[in-house]
Amino acid sequence: MGTAAERIMPSLGPRETSRDRLVRAAALLVDSGGGADLTMEAVATAASVSRATAYRHFSSRHELVLHLVLLAAEDLAADCFRLMEQAHGSREKLRVTFDHVMLTAVESERIKLLVELGMSPTPETVQEWTERVLGQVVKDGQAAGELRTDLETDEILQWLGEELIAMVRMTHRDFDFLMRRSHNFVLPAVYSSHEPPRRGRKK
């Protein structure tokens, strides 16, 4: 039947490093049971590595959790790009991105644990993510007259990044509250006064 660790996390083969196993084990433990029982010892056991090996790769549980969240942020960026491909216009692309980030924040055990530990990605990390995911959207929106042109592109991106991290920290609020906040206050702050034409409306 195998050990408990093997039942929790079967091996992916000889190419998987001890660091890879630690990250995968931590992700499985957090996603399946939250962070209450997440310790370096538990992660090392689930990964079938020694406690010393675990601490050689990650100096603390805090560092390991932050690494998990940064990996999740990459998956989140890919999801947002896919969603935006189906959206029409910069305003809709901003809305679907904010909605998806908020829904992920509310449902993600990794983000909840990060907030519980009083940790968060650095402002520079959040800003880099915002610029990478939404930079072209904002530029296109300004060019099309959907977004404000009295503000610099960087100013809009900074506002969006600051609001994203603020709302991620509100994981104790429900999704509907966060969605109303973004739709009614956060995003309209960067909309132009021009109302873009509705798709499919006859002239």
Domain range for 115:
68-190
Domain assignment of residue 198, yes or no: no
Q: Is 147 helix (H, G, I), strand (E, B) or coil?
A: strand
pLDDT band at 202 (very low <50, low <70, confident <90, very high): very low
pLDDT tops 60 at residue 199: no
> Which residues partner with 191 through β-bridges?
147
* Number of domain units in the chain: 2
pLDDT score recorded for residue 12 = 53
Model confidence pLDDT, tens digit, residues 33-82:
767 678 899 999 999 899 999 999 999 988 898 888 888 889 999 999 99
Burial of 105 (0-12, 13-18, 19+ CB in 10 A): buried
Q: Are 128 and 55 within one domain? A: no
Judged against a pLDDT cut of 50, whether residue 5 lies above it is answered with no
Q: Are residues 41 and 81 in the same domain?
A: no
pLDDT surpasses 50 at 1: no
Residue 129: CATH number of its domain: 1.10.357
The answer, yes or no, to whether residue 198 has pLDDT greater than 60, is: no
124 lies in the same domain as 148: yes
